[in-house]
Homo-oligomer: A and B are copies of this chain.
């Protein structure tokens, strides 16, 4: 088995099956506050379903991941999307996998450009937050409420991800 994965630059098109790229470029924008401010509007589709579901705003403060990243597992959230936006805009690694009849297929890896964030669609297999440098603080918008919103899948053999 080829267990090496090389991350590609994140692109809106390639990432579309898995989620959205959060960025000002290409966004609907309009001027507000008597011209003092530009609003880059509605950059992600925030999904939340199930009993007592609500959107949550949180901050993740992470250590960077050493490369190559040993990818032993992926996870998904069947009840909600999950958005990650880096405070300082630093590039980070984004790992996703297509679903194949309930289990993840071969993962894909992307590296964000400076300033980009991402939003995983509901029920998308993905690796955990993987910053490439410090400090690595992210604003996170995901789903709170009752119900089991976490499914994990451990690979028999790990993948190794490089940039």
Contact = CB atoms under 8 A, between A and B. Distances in A.
Contact of A41 (B22, B24, B55, B58): B58
A141 B141 contact: yes
A39 B24 CA distance: 26
Q: Is the contact region of chain A dominated by helix, strand, or loop, or is it mixed?
A: strand
Contacts of A24: 59, 61
A139 to B, nearest CB: 6
A94 interface: no
B63 A43 contact: no
A156 interface: no
Interface of A: 22, 24, 27, 32-33, 36-44, 46, 54-63, 65, 83, 85, 87-89, 119, 128-129, 139-141, 144
The 3 closest A-B pairs by CB, nearest first: A37-B62, A40-B59, A33-B128
5 contacts: A27-B59, A42-B144, A55-B55, A57-B119, A88-B88
